[in-house]
Amino acid sequence: MKFENISGAGRAESPKLPRVQEVIVLGGYGRLGQKCVSELVDTTRARIVVAGRNIQRAERVASRFGHRARPAYANAEDPRTLQTLIPGAAAVLICSGGSWLAVLDSAIQTRVPFISLSPSLLEERVSLRLQQEAWRSQVPVILQAGAIPGLPGVLAELLMRRFPSLHEIRIASTGPWSETELAKADQRELRRAGKLASNGRAALSERWRRSRWHFPEPIGARWVRPARSLDLDGFAEAHCVDHLVYLEPDQGVLVRGVQQVLQRDHELEFALVAEGYDAEGKGSPQERLTLQSSDLLSVAAAAAGALTQRVLAGALPAGVLAQREALNPALLLQALTKRDVRVVSSAGSL
């Protein structure tokens, strides 16, 4: 009698299928989160996990992308909901408000790259601890990505790559960006100082009139607000730029020029200009870069997608990184133009 070998001995093993990379988007059903999910589906091969406290909304968003997305429950302030979600992920993106330090701690402990598009004002000691832990775990951590407020540093970085001998850089922005996150942060600071009048907006306007945002002296001489966002901190020293001027409404000819752009095109929601000068800021700029968009959130999502591509490619070093240090300018410009963001250069094509 002939018996078949059913033990599996001598049988060739089937090849193991490669594991699908997953990118977690916490808050993926909000306005910004949905744009980020769509961007990641278009620009990466990863499966996107739409996560948040409202599982019904997460399911509705994930269902639009078929097998490329799945829903998951997660609470950014409850570490227990993150223990089974984050380990093994290729990256975590935060698109929700509130505190996300528990998510960041979980990502660092499990060695998962972390990108936050939510604004943060971290204490210096907390930032130092995060830097040390991220370096020890050998994972990249990018805070405050996207358009709020990362793009000034990216444009400044792009200017210096194109013209390394620039002496002065001037940056101006207008639109909802300057009227939301930065203004809210100032309101919190004024309240803590007990100086906020009943009409807080008047207090903020008064503070702006004192040229808080205009720094004509060398940036290394004193603290500067964008440095607290890890955006322009150390930029001038790293590139030997003598002057870095960061303008907000309503200060300077450059800002008025940006506002005129918005007035001419009422569909624009956001405009950002960076100018580079090669000698004392006199005469015409050697280069002017302008970003114009009718949708601020699309700008943020495009930047988040470009960052995630760098993370998935393993192209980023460990530690807490500024967006300008992590982004490939060419990759970002390509992502922006695909999302109908106008990128204009006075010196010709980029």
Measured between alpha carbons, how far is 59 from 61 in angstroms, rounded to an integer?
6
Residues 137 and 156 in one domain: no
Query: What band does 116 get if pLDDT is binned at 50, 70 and 90?
Result: confident
**Does the CA dihedral 113-224-280-251 come out positive or negative?**
positive
Q: Which residue has the higher pLDDT, 328 or 83?
A: 83
Residues 161, 115 within the same domain: no
Same domain, 135 and 185: no
Residues 198 and 84 placed together within one structural domain of the fold: no
Q: Is residue 302 part of a domain?
A: no
Integer Cα distance of 146 and 299 in angstroms = 7
Q: Where are the beta strands (DSSP E) in 175-228?
A: none
**Do 164 and 290 share a domain, yes or no?**
yes
Convert the pLDDT of each residue in 291-319 to its tens digit: 888 777 888 888 889 899 999 999 998 88
**Is residue 260 left, alpha or beta, with left meaning phi > 0 and alpha meaning psi from -120 to 50?**
alpha
- State the total domains in the chain: 2
Residue 184 lies in a domain: yes
* Averaged pLDDT of the chain: 71
Indicate whether 27 and 134 sit together in one domain: yes
Identify the CA nearest to 117 among candidates 329, 246, 319, 296: 296
Whether residue 300 is contained in a domain is answered as no
Last residue of a domain, one of 110, 142, 174: 142
Which of 186 and 295 is assigned the larger pLDDT? Answer: 295
* Boundary (domain end) residue, out of 97, 113, 142: 142
CA angle 185, 219, 350 (to 5 degrees): 90
Is residue 111 scored above 80 in pLDDT?
A: yes
Q: Same domain, yes or no, for 65 and 162? A: no
Residue ending a domain, among 142, 162, 190, is 142
- Is-cis flag, bond preceding 250, omega within 30? yes
Question: Would the CA dihedral through 181, 184, 185, 186 be positive or negative?
Answer: positive
- What is the pLDDT, as a whole number, of residue 7? 41
pLDDT higher than 70, residue 55: yes
Residues 46 and 116 grouped into a single domain: yes
Parent domain of 29:
22-142
How far the first Cα of the chain sits from its last, in Å, is 78
Q: Is the pTM of this model over 0.75?
A: no
Assess whether 125 and 158 both reside in one domain: no
Is there a single domain that holds both residue 248 and residue 176?
yes
Q: For residue 321, is it within any domain?
A: no
- Please tell me which residue, 146 or 295, carries the higher pLDDT value: 295
Q: Is residue 323 part of a domain?
A: no
Residue 52 lies in a domain: yes
Residues 157 and 103 in one domain: no
State whether 27 and 136 are in the same domain: yes
Task: Give CA–CA dist 133/129, Å, rounded.
Answer: 6
Q: Is 293 helix (H, G, I), strand (E, B) or coil?
A: strand
Is 255 part of a structural domain of the chain? Answer: yes
The rounded distance, in Å, linking the Cα atoms of 42 and 335 is: 10
Task: Please tell me which of 81-90, 138-147, 300-309 the model is most confident about, judged by mean pLDDT.
Answer: 81-90
What share of the chain in percent tops pLDDT 90? 23
Question: What's the pLDDT score for residue 89?
Answer: 96
Binned at pLDDT 50, 70 and 90, residue 146 comes out as low
Is the per-residue pLDDT at 145 higher than 50? yes
CATH code of the domain containing 55: 3.40.50.720
Give a yes or no: residue 331 inside a domain: no
Q: What is the side-by-side order of every strand in the sheet holding 270-277?
A: 243-247, 168-174, 270-277, 287-293, 342-345
Q: Are strands 243-247 and 168-174 parallel, antiparallel or unpaired?
A: parallel
Percent of all residues in the chain with a pLDDT value above 70, rounded to a whole number: 58
Query: Which residues touch 53 (CB under 8 Å, ≥6 apart)?
Result: 73, 74, 75
